[in-house]
Amino acid sequence: MKIIDETINLMEKENGDIVSMIFESSKDKRWYPFKDQRDLEMTIMDSIPEKIRNESPFIMLLRPNKNPESLLSFAPLLKWENGTSETNKIESRDSIESGEIRLLINRLLEKGLEHGRNGKITFEGDSINEFREHLLQNMDYKALNIQQSNSSFILGGRFICKFVRKVHVGENPDVEIPQKLYAETAFRNTPKPIGQLVYREKQVYSLMSIHTFIENNGDYWDYFTRMAESLFLQSEHEESRENIFKSLTGSIEEIAKAVGEMHIGLSTLKGNDFSSEPVNDSYISKLKSGFLQLCQNLSSTKTHIKIKGEIINTNELGRSLESLIHKINFRFFQGTRITRVHGDLHLGQILRTDNGPVIIDFEGEPMRTPRERTMKQSPLKDVSGIVRSIDYALNFNVERDDYNLVMGQNYSLKLKTKFLEEYWKITSGIGILPDTFQAFLGISEFFELDKAIYELNYEISNRPEWADIPAAAILKIMQRLD
Ligand SMILES: Nc1ncnc2c1ncn2[C@@H]1O[C@H](COP(=O)(O)OP(=O)(O)O)[C@@H](O)[C@H]1O
Ligand SMILES: [Mg+2]
């Protein structure tokens, strides 16, 4: 390996093995998106700063040759002992896990920007001054150990930074939507957006979003799964069960209010990319073809799922669902509107705080393309996200024998109904949803079914032991539609 002047220029071909090393050490991380792919070809898009020093973190952007739309971003730090020489052993560590990314952030805050060979990185956003001033005093670092598709850490005890691992060109909805909500609406049940770290060359890429850190008691997914577990353990004690159920109902009311108010806020945003629009034929066609595609995917599976003593063949289920589309009343959509939505709403995206529910993560579903994530949708798509999440939470940590399955379904139905009623109280009459509660329920049931089929496909290939949860929900809805 050739190293010049104690710096590495990662753009040079000789240093390709350093890149391979960084890549190799990332393969077992949660966020690594190409786990099942071999023989990947990657092009180095940039490394910033261009000259990499010993023990100094840098950002490296790689472009998968097969899928040039989505870049991978790394924040490594290289260490080679005894100065630099061709025989020297080099070690690579992730500067976000180790906290050394602070050095780069600090340099950026002082200098304002850092150049790579092809572009530069800077912090941008309305509240970046507040961020800079606080951090120059206090740079405490805490990595969040829940590693998802991104890597998050808390800085200075006050800000949460989400380092995006799979980067896309253009605006980042996780920053853009909260910024619009704060600038144009009174909705405050979401953390204040501070800004982002962007990479600019010919185009702009968001590398990291920054929000205010909110003290919280965990998220509602943790809360609901925990409460559901005790609900089932208390099956002999009517009174304890009632108390637990009462707490869950109280939470549902608060969540419905927050989600409803978020949708009211989203429905009033201004500007072409944000303002609400009437539902048109093309939106309905997209919904129908998306639904049929999910059914076809299911038809091509050959799994057997046991529910209440009955064996369900997923191939047959997929085919009966395909023909069910004629029973779905798409006229319920008439007169409704589409808006920007959260896009990936579930109980795990809502924090429990002393000031009520706080909704986070407007990034959209990680597997979807940027265009799909920013598409205007019926707000009831988000609503179905919560409804499905309630159903999962009540069946998750529970041994799903016939008795528990019925009990789980009953609780889930009660909580779902409560959620829909409370949400309707808040949002009916804002001119986005249908005029009648019946049409509202019809649309939300369509999205619920659509989502449950998506989940069933996912579970069949990833977590077959959970496949009975969405399958049972699908059967229930089919019974009602028939
Ligand atoms: N503003 C915030 N305040 C406190 N904790 C947060 C905040 N934003 C995110 N978190 C924590 O980080 C986790 C992941 O954040 P999220 O934005 O959902 O990222 P991901 O894309 O990885 O799902 C959340 O579940 C929550 O625990
Ligand atoms: Mg999330």
Per-residue pLDDT tens digits for 129-157: 999 999 999 999 999 876 677 899 999 99
Domain end marker among 181, 212, 243: 212
Q: Quick one: which atom of ligand 1 is closest to the CA of 148?
A: 22
- Statement to judge: residues 208 and 227 lie in one domain: no
For residue 1, tell me if it sits in a domain.
no
Query: Considering every ligand atom, which ligand is closest to the CA of 353?
Result: 1
Instruction: Provide the pLDDT for residue 419.
Output: 98
Domain end marker among 193, 212, 231: 212
| Amino acid present at 298 | L
- Statement to judge: residues 203 and 229 lie in one domain: no
- Statement to judge: residues 121 and 242 lie in one domain: no
Instruction: Provide the pLDDT for residue 1.
Output: 52
Any idea what DSSP says for residue 374? Answer: T
Alpha-helical regions (H) of 58-100: 95-98
Residue 51 has which token pair?
């000259």
**Which residues, judged by CB distance below 6 Å to any ligand atom, belong to the binding site of ligand 1?**
144, 146, 148-150, 152, 160, 162, 191, 211-214, 216, 219, 349, 360-361, 363
Q: Quick one: which atom of ligand 1 is closest to the CA of 348?
A: 25
Residues 351, 216: Cα–Cα separation, whole Å: 6
CA of 453 to the centre of ligand 2 (A): 21
The secondary structure of 150-170 as a DSSP string is SEEEEETTTEEEEE-SEEEBS
The percentage of residues in the chain with a pLDDT greater than 70, rounded to a whole number, is 94
**Residue 208: is its pLDDT beyond 70?**
yes
pTM of the model: 0.94
Q: How confident is the model at residue 6 (pLDDT cuts 50, 70, 90)?
A: low
- Statement to judge: residues 238 and 132 lie in one domain: no
For residue 2, tell me if it sits in a domain.
no
> Are 308 and 405 contacting, i.e. CB atoms less than 8 angstroms apart?
yes
- Statement to judge: residues 206 and 265 lie in one domain: no
291 contact partners, CB below 8 Å, separation of at least 6: 325, 446, 449, 450, 453
Greatest alpha-carbon pair distance for the chain in Å reads: 75
pLDDT digit string, tens, across residues 331-361: 999 999 999 999 999 999 999 999 999 999 9
Q: Quick one: which atom of ligand 1 is closest to the CA of 366?
A: 21
CA of 359 to the centre of ligand 2 (A): 10
For residue 397, tell me if it sits in a domain.
yes
Q: Quick one: which atom of ligand 1 is closest to the CA of 216?
A: 4
Q: How many domains does the chain have?
A: 2
pLDDT digit string, tens, across residues 372-405: 899 999 999 999 999 999 999 999 877 777 777 7
The mean per-residue pLDDT over the stretch 194-223 comes to: 97
Residue 274 has which token pair?
């944000």
CA of 161 to the centre of ligand 1 (A): 9
For residue 463, tell me if it sits in a domain.
yes
- Statement to judge: residues 205 and 257 lie in one domain: no
CA of 96 to the centre of ligand 2 (A): 18
Residue 450 has which token pair?
């659509």
Residues 471, 243: Cα–Cα separation, whole Å: 29
Boundaries of domain holding 146: 7-212
Query: Considering every ligand atom, which ligand is closest to the CA of 146?
Result: 1
User: What CATH number is given to the structural domain containing 301?
Assistant: 3.90.1200.10
Q: In the chain, how many H helices and how many E strands?
A: 14, 21
